[in-house]
Amino acid sequence: MQLRLKLVLLSGVPIVVALLLMGATMQQQTYKLVREEQALVQAAFMHSKEAELKHYVELARNTLLRIAEGPGDVGARKEQALATLVRMQFGQNGYFFAYDQHGQLLIDPKTLPMQGVDFCDPNDPVGADSAHRILSTARRGGGVVRYNWSKPSSQSVVPKLGYVLTIPGWDWVIGTGIYLDDVQEALQAIETGARSNIESTRQRIYAIAAVCVVLIGLGGLALNLKDHRVSSDKLRRLARRVVRSQEDERVRVARELHDGVVQVLASSKFLLETAQLQLADPATPVPAAPRQALDQGLARLGSALVEIRRVSHGLRPALLDDLGLEPALALLAQQVQESGAFAVRLVRQGVPAQLPAEHGTVLFRIAQEALQNCRSHAHATQVELLLHGTRHGVGLQVIDDGQGFDTRRVFEDGARGIGLRNMRERAEALGGLLSIDSGRHGTRIAAWLPLPHAAAPQEAAAPAREHTPLPLAHPAP
């Protein structure tokens, strides 16, 4: 695993884990606060309901006490009191109930203005338990009692909070109740809102985690791209140094061949030629066999000199250092054409007078490799070298009429196209471009090298067709 990827993981994973733990802690604390809030809301609601019920029951009790203390028959006053109690209502489902000292209901539910009312009847199995709770609380002095009962408006069984008191003298138990379904709805609304807030917060945390991971990934990608560019620049500079060292070594070898071995061979040839001239003097009689051997040695020595000069020029033509790229290309074209392989024509257009040594070397090597490919593989009959330049850069095109090749297959095959890869690497080492276009009608290799302190490299396009042929020079070897 790469170090950069490790750093991204070491920075991204803890952030994601921390955000997830924060989300879980937030959820737990939120539910805890919701439960505390529900308890507080329920306590507040219950206290409010109890106070409200107490007020209603005490109001009804005072009314009944005034009737009980009034004049008239006791039975008539009790009937008046029950009638008054039936008419007393509050809210949508608020009504009063009354029991006698024996626990019997004193009010008929059918006499109430609202429909669906059912009292807790001690004689009814359904309401016996609730009625006993009510009567027991009243006998202990009255107060709050809780039970479940049917709500008239919805005909559903819901929790109900009741409050009961006794009427002194008559031993009646009166009371009323308030249904607590609204309290349950309020508590449920609180919980629903809390769950919605928790879910919304969780989504935000997940979004923040995703953004953090993306930002970390982008940062790592940017660093990788930067490192890649730096590495590419380093590799390009290294390649240039390698090529430069190769060329320096070629120059050294060529110079040593020319200044050392060639001079020795030349002096040896001079001495042998002098000896040959002396032997050719009619006044000096010499056997025929030594004379023939001397002639053969001189011939072979001359061939060796020619071969060494050829190798020296192949390693590094002296014209490339002394006169520049154009004469070197002219000499290369002349040598190839004299070998009888094919016709070569050199054309130039707008080439700068002074080219950096690196640029001249790279273009010369590209031309050298391309001509060698034309000789070995293309079976061409005519080759054109186009050397063109602008103030931004210099380009070279090698165009032949050979049989061409499949560039994709050549580059995909690792064992083939080594020369083409070398040409491309040489051009890219100087920030240039190299394009290869091959088909049935021939091959076109175009290289473009930007000049130092010039604009970005342009596409290796063909120059204008109006060019001036450059006569092939015939420099001395």
Phi, psi values for residue 114, rounded to 5° = -90, 155
Q: How far apart are CA 54 and CA 145, in angstroms?
A: 12
* Nearest alpha-carbon partner for 79 in 41, 467, 87: 87
Could you read off the pLDDT of 288-333 as tens digits, one per residue? 656 666 776 677 777 777 777 666 666 666 667 777 888 888 888 8
Q: Give CA separation, 308 vs 6, 266, 269, 297, 475, in Å.
A: 58, 11, 14, 16, 17
Domains of the chain: 3-179 (3.30.450.20), 323-469 (3.30.565.10)
DSSP state of 256: H
H or E element at residue 76 = helix 74-87
Per-residue pLDDT of the chain (477 residues; tens, 9 = 90+): 555 566 666 666 777 777 778 777 877 877 788 788 778 887 888 888 888 888 988 888 898 888 888 887 888 888 888 888 888 887 777 788 888 878 888 888 777 777 767 788 788 887 788 888 888 888 888 888 888 887 777 777 888 888 999 888 888 898 888 888 777 777 788 778 877 887 787 788 778 877 877 787 777 777 777 777 777 777 777 777 677 767 766 776 777 666 666 777 777 777 777 777 766 666 656 566 566 667 766 777 777 777 776 666 666 666 677 778 888 888 888 888 888 778 999 998 887 767 888 888 889 989 988 998 888 888 888 999 999 988 889 999 999 998 888 888 887 776 677 788 888 888 988 889 999 998 888 999 999 999 886 544 444 444 433 333 333 333 333
Strand partners, 388: 349, 395
Q: How far apart are CA 135 and CA 168, in angstroms?
A: 15
Q: How far apart are CA 449 and CA 457, in angstroms?
A: 7
